[in-house]
Structure 1
Amino acid sequence: MQIKDVLLAPGNGAFFYDDQAAIRAGATQDGFVYVGHPITAGFNSIRIPASSLSVGLVLTDNTVVWGDMMNVQYSGAGGRDPLFDTDQISDLTSRVVAPRLLDVDASLYLDACEKVLAPFEHQRLPLAVEYGVSQALLRAAAHLRRKTMAEIVCGEFGLQVPTCRVPIYCQSGDAREINTDKMILRSVDILPHGLINSRQKFGVDGQTFVEFVKWVATRTRKIGRPGYHPVLHFDVYGWIGQEVGLEPQRIADFICKVAESVPGFTLNIESPGDFGSTQAQIENYAKIVSILDSRGSSARIVVDERCNTLEDIRLFAEAKATHLVQIKTPDVGSIANTARAVLICKENRVGAYVGGSCTETDLSAQASVHVSVATQADMMLAKPGMGVDEAFSIVDNEQNRLLAILDHCRAQNEKVG
């Protein structure tokens, strides 16, 4: 077959793994570190550098194609896979996955993924393994068939080759004001995330958060180019529910109040509350969506926590329990599942946001771009890291290169035709 060897190389994610439970419980920051004891299993401190593992497929022409495995920033939270352990993942990949890779037709992408990523001992492989190996297989199929990764996705899922760009969303990290300025100067489509993940950042009754939202809108008008009008998107990590109460009406009232404070802007509020389970999240988010829609609010809610798997995404989309789904790419496993998730959202007329994590790598970000463009997602995350410039350049440049290639191929085909 086309894969003759498998390489593994330890690596670094572009940010840190954080113990969300400890942060929500009140851990304070001292510089860049969090002070206090970890709560989530596997963490020996609240913040630790993100690790990754690259898997390389040596093809018969000696080309090596790569994919990267890692978990998300808040590993072990909200039903997610536990903290990434490079040694354990490396051992499993060597023993179980590598022999499978040597025995598949790598030019047949979905078929290869199904065979290589099949359960082991009646259990699904770790999602990080699915994610990294599926990236490498996508690159292998693209190389063998002399196409872009996006074209492979289009072919496998019966999609038209795209012509339109996908809007890009940047995240600020804790350097909110500086990074918001960077986003505005770069005319980013959707901004700024805000990382509103503590009571200090949200404020009593959400007042600190509301003031920040108003500041972002004012700053956009002040230093943005003429005609620049981004979508404002804030991730509040459940703090609306924690501060005003886990009751859909109260949460909707608060969101409407925030939207009214920035007239003329579309407002996305990610993770307004955490109701403790997927089913409870679906029921209560559906009520919030209904209230916002009935009021004609410019605000939209985005689900993240409790919506991890492909089946979770289907349940939220079918129940209209969100306006947008964050498809957290490492959490849905195989990157083919990211494509499936976008298509599920589109079938149910729910927005598809191809997200992921700041802990990812340049390779996983580039693969995500191809899937996002191929499926024409509604938005995609600039990743990895929290620095804005690096993540935006990786994702925006990859998208621009991809669209240039597709335009060229289209023009060549028209000449031949």
Structure 2
Amino acid sequence: MQIKDVLLAPGSGAFFYDDQAAIRAGASQDGFTYVGEPLTPGFTSIRVPASSLSMGLVLADDTVVWGDMMSVQYSGAGGRDPLFDTKQISDLTSRVIVPRLLDVDASRYLDACAHVFEPYECNRLPLAIEYGVSQALLRTAAHLRRRTMAEVVCAEFDLPLPTRGIPIYCQSGDAKEVNVDKMILKAVDVLPHGLINSWQKFGVDGQTFMEFVKWVATRTRQIGRPGYQPVLHFDVYGWIGLEIGLEPQRIADFICRVADTVPGFTLNIESPADHGSTQAQVENYAKIVSILNNRGSGARIVVDERCNTLEDIRLFAEAKAAHLVQIKTPDVGSMADTARAVLICKANKVGAYVGGSCTETDLSAQASVHVSVATQADMMLAKPGMGFDEAFSIVGNEQNRLLAMLNRRRAQDEKI
């Protein structure tokens, strides 16, 4: 089956691109904006509206299937690709990617991805391009096979059809208290993220952060339904290391103190520190994980920064340098690599969290659900946006629709 034409349509991401370096350096907020000069190359201001680029593949039967390209919120930080530039990405896509797409068998997903994503001028393509094009190719294969995207992933990677859903992790944005209440009332599996991305939110010796953790646990017991016990997951954007220091023992001691304030809850701490490079991150996170394991702590380390590509994920998983690896889908690139990343984590008995960014779109979020369920990841992010309700609806409803279709398929197969 040939692709006979390609459409490109500029669009919006569901949140904003933020200059992490400027925010870490102390940029203050004025309403929804940040005051000060940007520090990361490509940013004209500290907060920039997120943009995206949709690609539509026109098939021989005139069906058009879509995928969306974009970057993550903190583009250019932690070894990531630079800020998304719609004009540059559109130009490269038109010159390089479109001719390759017109020359593939779209029914063969992994083969098509391998051909389209070959290096250009000896360099890997921008990961945003891989991400969006791989979504469109996955939808194409699903259309041609009259199957769901999850079934295509299962077939391509020789996986059994899944029978259960994946826990959903929701993020609060800055409207933390209101969104925590919403999450508890909707009984989400993992909450609340917390956006602990500045010194003001972390506090002296982490006291502001610790008080927030205790409040979330208390609030869960106050308004949650009987027996509701979510995983508490907080992204601290490296602030434990920035405030407490980078020595693994001190970081582990602090995390244990936080865990002790919320007995009975599993506590995930994402990005406790940024050690400056992938190798340093692997070595130090492995030490922190080992200390927590030896203490029998109820806390788990989640890696994000410095763990971007499939090869990065392999390094962390094989070194047991995290309890959970965030597979940040736009940073990984191809959706095929997201599937491979989950399988690498599972093979190394490390948790696989299919994440992403608030800057994504409904289409990229839905495709992520299919890959997450097909590979049976340990949890997946409710995305896009920072409003909680919308993201939880997009991801949760897509998962429920998918499971209904898979159950029907399984019942049909049993009759044959």
Distance in 2, Cα, partners of 1:123 & 1:276 = 24
Secondary structure of 1:121's partner?
A: coil
**CA offsets 1:14-66 (integer angstroms, 9 cap, x no match):** 00000000000000000000000000000000001000000000000100000
Residue in 2 aligned with 1:99? Answer: 99
Residue in 2 aligned with 1:43? Answer: 43
Residue in 2 aligned with 1:9? Answer: 9
Residue in 2 aligned with 1:174? Answer: 174
**CA offsets 1:302-329 (integer angstroms, 9 cap, x no match):** 0000001111100000000110000000
**CA offsets 1:55-91 (integer angstroms, 9 cap, x no match):** 0000001000000000000000011000000000001
Shift of residue 152, structure 1, vs aligned partner:
0.2
- Tell me the percent identity: 84
Residue in 1 aligned with 2:184? Answer: 184
Structure 2 letter corresponding to 1:408? R
Shift of residue 227, structure 1, vs aligned partner:
1.1
Secondary structure of 1:288's partner?
A: helix
Residue in 2 aligned with 1:331? Answer: 331
Unaligned runs of 5+ residues in structure 2 are none
Residue in 2 aligned with 1:249? Answer: 249
Shift of residue 273, structure 1, vs aligned partner:
0.4
Q: Where do 1:258-337 residues align within 5 Å? A: 258-337=258-337
> How many equivalent residue pairs?
416
Greater than 6 Å deviation, 4+ residue runs: none
Whether 1:28 and 2:55 are equivalent positions in the alignment is no
Shift of residue 402, structure 1, vs aligned partner:
0.2
Distance in 1, Cα, partners of 2:70 & 2:39 = 21
Shift of residue 415, structure 1, vs aligned partner:
1.7
Residue in 1 aligned with 2:364? Answer: 364
Structure 1 letter corresponding to 2:104? V
Residue in 2 aligned with 1:380? Answer: 380
Secondary structure of 1:166's partner?
A: coil
Residue in 2 aligned with 1:138? Answer: 138
Secondary structure of 1:53's partner?
A: strand
Secondary structure of 2:56's partner?
A: strand
Residue in 2 aligned with 1:59? Answer: 59
Residue in 2 aligned with 1:117? Answer: 117
TM-score by length of 1: 0.99
Distance in 1, Cα, partners of 2:25 & 2:205 = 18
Residue in 1 aligned with 2:397? Answer: 397
Structure 2 letter corresponding to 1:276? G
**CA offsets 1:97-142 (integer angstroms, 9 cap, x no match):** 0011111000000000000111111111100000000000000000
Distance in 2, Cα, partners of 1:165 & 1:333 = 24
Unaligned runs of 5+ residues in structure 1 are none
**CA offsets 1:387-412 (integer angstroms, 9 cap, x no match):** 00000000000000000000001111
Residue in 2 aligned with 1:86? Answer: 86
Residue in 1 aligned with 2:210? Answer: 210
Distance in 2, Cα, partners of 1:121 & 1:312 = 23
Distance in 2, Cα, partners of 1:337 & 1:200 = 37
Residue in 2 aligned with 1:160? Answer: 160
Secondary structure of 1:222's partner?
A: helix
Structure 1 letter corresponding to 2:158? G
Structure 1 letter corresponding to 2:298? S
Distance in 2, Cα, partners of 1:411 & 1:79 = 46
Secondary structure of 1:58's partner?
A: strand
Structure 1 letter corresponding to 2:251? I
Secondary structure of 1:217's partner?
A: helix
Structure 1 letter corresponding to 2:136? A
The worse-fitting range, judged by mean Cα deviation, of 114-123 and 203-212 is: 114-123
Secondary structure of 1:371's partner?
A: helix
The worse-fitting range, judged by mean Cα deviation, of 117-126 and 258-267 is: 117-126
Shift of residue 226, structure 1, vs aligned partner:
1.1
Distance in 2, Cα, partners of 1:38 & 1:83 = 12
Shift of residue 2, structure 1, vs aligned partner:
2.2
Distance in 1, Cα, partners of 2:277 & 2:92 = 30
Secondary structure of 1:406's partner?
A: helix
Structure 2 letter corresponding to 1:386? M
The worse-fitting range, judged by mean Cα deviation, of 116-125 and 364-373 is: 116-125
Distance in 2, Cα, partners of 1:413 & 1:156 = 19
Distance in 2, Cα, partners of 1:414 & 1:251 = 52
Secondary structure of 1:29's partner?
A: strand
Secondary structure of 1:196's partner?
A: coil
Secondary structure of 1:5's partner?
A: strand
Structure 2 letter corresponding to 1:16? F
Distance in 1, Cα, partners of 2:223 & 2:49 = 34
Shift of residue 143, structure 1, vs aligned partner:
0.1
Distance in 2, Cα, partners of 1:194 & 1:122 = 40
Distance in 2, Cα, partners of 1:74 & 1:46 = 10
Structure 2 letter corresponding to 1:346? K
Structure 1 letter corresponding to 2:269? I
Structure 2 letter corresponding to 1:309? T
Distance in 2, Cα, partners of 1:15 & 1:91 = 24
Distance in 2, Cα, partners of 1:117 & 1:275 = 31
Secondary structure of 1:360's partner?
A: coil
Structure 2 letter corresponding to 1:223? I
TM-score by length of 2: 1.00
